[in-house]
Homo-oligomer: A and B are copies of this chain.
Amino acid sequence: MAGNTFGKLFRVTTAGVSHGPGYVCIIDGCPAGLELSAADLVPDLRRRRPGQSALTTQRDEDDAPEIWSGVFEGRTDGTPIGILFRNADQRSADYGDIVDKYRPGHADYTFDAKYGFRDPRGGGRSSARETVCRVAAGAVAKKLLARAGVRVLGYVKQVGDVIAEIADPTAVTLEQVEATPVRCPDASAAARMIDLIDAVRKDRDSVGGVCELVATGVPPGLGEPVFDKLKADLGKALLSLPAVLGFEYGAGFAVATARGSANNDVFVPRATQGADVPRSGIATETNRHGGMLGGISSGMPIVCRAAVKPTSSIPRAQRTVTRAGAPTEILVKGRHDPCLLPRFVPMGEAMVALVLVDHLLRAKTSRL
């Protein structure tokens, strides 16, 4: 049983590889009546796009979405939304070596192990270009969320050992995020991140980091006990993205060293809350629970993080084996981001948005 569909009620199914004709995305379950056009998908697709700055790969991808169905006279009509992306930049000659040699850190070997063979051009189905569909679907989800008063915003929290200082995650604005090519709203940290990424690239290496994602305006009550908890579905969503090796929310791994007396967030009446107002009469004084208790949204902001590994493709010779298992070396060609984080931000936002819309729809059926 394959796994190219995400979501239960807002279902996104994708197909395509980076060096075929293009990608196909079908969104099934978008409610009728949402104003939508291809132009709505463009801003996030541009943020995802390679070649935005010296920090990202200089590959030129054509990310113009074509909506083939599901929208009539400017509004979604309840039928499935078909979106197409044509591939433009198919310089497959760059990838010849990977037919017979396994790139370290890549899925070449595991695809071979799973299916018996694979499309080696550009990584085939494991190419991160697949996220173009997720970002487009996420943009639709964000429009639905906006109608419900929910906003999803991500930013780069950490690159290497540079960690941003974010006093209030819910106060970060899109403008602050987009102010620098590294998408870190802490200007000082952003400058150091940029320097670090530059240094790493010159060193023909790559570096990892952490993306933080914040959803505000989330009504309490989203998330389905006991398996489809909101935290569980957010974790799955972000871990389904390429290069993500960890997920945490609220206090995250820091809870390991915490005491219950300090970790529990005290409930307070809403009046004691400031800008970060929850959507019911009850709030918590602090938000170490990251907006979810028992896996159900509490009305407090949802704050979560994904750990993203350094790009596996680096312009250096690396030891590996051939398909036959013989030791060899490989020099991965092509143009690659020295740090995935800046372009990861819209991908992470998209996945969070997809989960929240799915659970908003699911919650519609939880009470008489």
Q: Mark A133-156, 1 if CB is under 8 A from B, else 0.
A: 000000000001001000000000
CA distance A299 to B245 in the complex (A): 17
Cβ–Cβ contact A81 & B15, under 8 A: yes
Q: Which of A251-294 contact B (CB under 8 A)?
A: 251-261, 263-270, 280-282, 284, 289-290, 292-294
Within 8 Å by CB of A68, from B20, B75, B231, lies B20
- By a CB distance below 8 angstroms, the chain B residues around A219 are 113
A310 neighbours in B (Cβ, 8 Å): 255, 258-260, 263
A82 to B15, CA, bound (A): 6
In the bound complex, residues from chain B placing their C-beta under 8 Å from that of A295 are: 107, 239-240
Report the bound CA distance from A32 to B221 in whole Å.
13
Which of A22, A105, A159 has the most chain B CB atoms inside 10 A of its CB?
A105
| CB neighbours of A225 from chain B (8 A) | 2-4, 79, 107, 111, 125-126
Whether the pair B269, A326 counts as a contact (CB closer than 8 A) is yes
- The reply on A202 being an interface residue by CB < 8 A is no
Is A20 a contact partner of B69 (Cβ separation < 8 A)? yes
Residues of B within 8 A of A367 (CB): 31-33, 78, 114-116
Point out which of A113, A325, A367 has the most chain B C-beta atoms below 10 A from its C-beta: A113
- Minimum C-beta distance from A208 to chain B (A): 4
Number of A residues, CB within 8 Å of B: 157
Q: Flag if B251 contacts A248 (CB, 8 Å).
A: no
Given contacts A248-B307, A296-B107, contact A17 B79 (CB under 8 A): yes
Output the least CB separation between A140 and chain B (Å).
13
- On whether the beta carbons of B24 and A24 are closer than 8 Å, the reply is yes
Partner of A77, one of B119, B252, B327: B119
Residues of B within 8 A of A228 (CB): 2-3, 240
Contact yes or no, A280 B77, CB < 8 A? no
Binds B, one of A49-57, A88-96, A173-181, A316-324: A316-324
B312 lies within 8 A of A224 (CB): no
Which residues of the other chain, B, contact A22 by a CB distance below 8 angstroms?
68
- Whether A216 is near chain B, meaning CB under 8 Å from some CB there, is no
